[in-house]
């Protein structure tokens, strides 16, 4: 299996004495569906930013498809759902306008959307079940539906790797379950590599093949059934000093 993400002995600090990550080794194969969890302040978001090449590690190497993550050539194949995604500005962006923004890197930057781009946008909207709401302003929809729209935006780019940072923050339990099931379905149908990052495994635990627990370093990496019972709540992860 070829590797999508490879972190070799990665460390990161925001300054002297402000270490966030230490000795992180992680290899994610193409087509895996992985949940990364850990307590708040445990380094998850920094890990995501290093994987995406938005931050360069203080030590070690971060590779995306075998290339240094900060200058990987195929960036348009990266789908990213940032923490607390929301449309900037006051204008009422519709679901279709949000999803169309996903074709910016993979389609052309200048001019109108081409017919094939519009087809990818329509297909992504159907996949997340928002077809009846395609022309509704996003802000009139529930939190769960808004997250589905952002997932569709990422899908419209036909990503090889989809990274979601806290995708269910502020979303009710029922919607969390449906988003987890949606991602599992997408993983099965499209074979896209999915990295689901959250402060808790929650609804996604039953759908993933692999759990990674981060608390400054990786303290667990394996299938869900091997996770020690207490650690199902990552807030209780205690690592021997």
Exactly one of 80, 133, 196, 220 binds another protein (CB under 8 A); which one?
Answer: 80
* CB nearer another protein, residue 81 or residue 214: 81
Site string for another protein, 166-205 (x = CB under 8 A): ----------------------------------------
Please give the Cα distance from 205 to 223 (Å, whole number).
Answer: 10
Q: Which of these ranges, 35-43, 101-109, 174-182, 203-211, lies near another protein under the rule CB under 8 A? A: 101-109
The answer to whether 89 contacts another protein (rule: CB under 8 A) is: yes
Minimum distance of another protein from residue 75's CB (angstroms) = 3
Specify whether the CB–CB gap between 180 and 187 falls below 8 A: no
* CB nearer another protein, residue 127 or residue 153: 153
Q: Which of these ranges, 33-41, 148-156, 183-191, 222-230, lies near another protein under the rule CB under 8 A? A: 148-156
* CB nearer another protein, residue 52 or residue 125: 52
* CB nearer another protein, residue 7 or residue 237: 7
Site string for another protein, 39-78 (x = CB under 8 A): -------------xxx--------------------xx-x
* CB nearer another protein, residue 128 or residue 213: 128
The answer to whether 217 contacts another protein (rule: CB under 8 A) is: no
Q: Is the dihedral of CA 169, 172, 178, 181 positive or negative?
A: positive
The DSSP annotation for the chain comes to --EEEEEEEEEEESSTT-EEEEEEEEEEETT-EEEEE--TTSSHHHHHHHHTTSS--SEEEEEETTEEGGG-S-GGGEEEE-TT----SSS--BHHHHHHGGGTTTS-SSSSPPHHHHHHHHHHHHHTT-GGGTTSBGGGS-HHHHHHHHHHHHHHT--SEEEEESTTTT--HHHHHHHHHHHHHHHHHH--EEEEEESS-GGGGGT-SEEEEEESEEEEEE-GGGS-GGGGSGGG-----
The answer to whether 156 contacts another protein (rule: CB under 8 A) is: no
Which residues contact another protein (rule: CB under 8 A)? 52-54, 75-76, 78-82, 85, 87-94, 97-98, 100-102, 104-106, 109-113, 135, 137, 150, 153-154, 157
């Amino acid at each position: 299996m070829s590797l999508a993400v490879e972190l070799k002995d990665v460390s990161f600090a925001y300054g002297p004495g402000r270490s966030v990550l230490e000795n992180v080794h992680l290899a994610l194969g193409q087509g895996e569906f992985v949940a990364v969890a850990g307590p708040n302040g445990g380094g998850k978001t920094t890990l995501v930013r290093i994987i995406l090449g938005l931050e360069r590690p203080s030590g070690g190497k971060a590779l995306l498809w075998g290339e240094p993550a900060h200058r990987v050539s195929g960036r348009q194949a990266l789908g990213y759902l940032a923490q607390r995604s929301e449309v900037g500005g006051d204008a009422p962006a519709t679901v279709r306008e949000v999803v169309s923004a996903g074709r910016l890197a993979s389609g052309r930057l200048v001019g109108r959307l081409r017919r094939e781009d519009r087809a990818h946008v329509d297909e992504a909207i159907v996949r997340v079940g928002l077809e009846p709401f395609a022309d509704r302003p996003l802000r009139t929809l529930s939190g769960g539906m808004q997250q589905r729209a952002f997932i569709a935006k990422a899908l419209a780019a036909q990503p090889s790797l989809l990274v979601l940072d806290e995708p269910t923050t502020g979303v009710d339990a029922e919607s969390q379950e449906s988003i987890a099931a949606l991602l599992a379905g997408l993983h099965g149908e499209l074979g896209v590599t999915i990295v689901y990052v959250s402060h808790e495994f929650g609804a996604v635990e039953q759908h993933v093949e692999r759990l990674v627990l981060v608390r400054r370093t990786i303290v667990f990496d394996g299938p869900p059934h091997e996770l020690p019972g207490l650690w199902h709540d990552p807030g209780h992860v205690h690592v021997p000093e």
